[in-house]
Amino acid sequence: MTPPWAWTALKPRFFILDARVVFPLGLWLLRWAWLTLFLALFSVTLLAILERRGLTLAAAWPLLKVKLTGPEREVGERRRFRERIRF
């Protein structure tokens, strides 16, 4: 039997989902409209998919940026960049 203080390391849950899905649903409750309902359901679905893949929203954001912009970024003039990083 584990002591109750050991449960503090677990993620908070809202039924079967991560507890962060409460925020979009709370926004829907503040503004009761079809658009906010669909946005809340979309965000709940997105967060559930990310959780199923083992990612958080903060970890998925850089991955999305790399997918949109590509793995290589242009630096500009290479000589000037090398001068800036010298100590």
Q: Is the pLDDT of residue 71 over 80?
A: no
pTM assigned to the model: 0.64
* Amino acid residing at 14: F
* Amino acid residing at 26: G
27 within a domain of the structure (yes/no): yes
26 within a domain of the structure (yes/no): yes
| 33-65 pLDDT, tens digit each | 999 999 999 999 998 898 889 888 888 888 888
5 within a domain of the structure (yes/no): no
pLDDT of residue 79: 57
Percent of the chain with pLDDT over 90: 16
What is the rounded CA–CA span in Å between residue 69 and residue 61?
12
- Please give the mean pLDDT across all residues of the chain: 81
What is the length of the chain? 87
6 within a domain of the structure (yes/no): no
Number of domains in the chain: 1
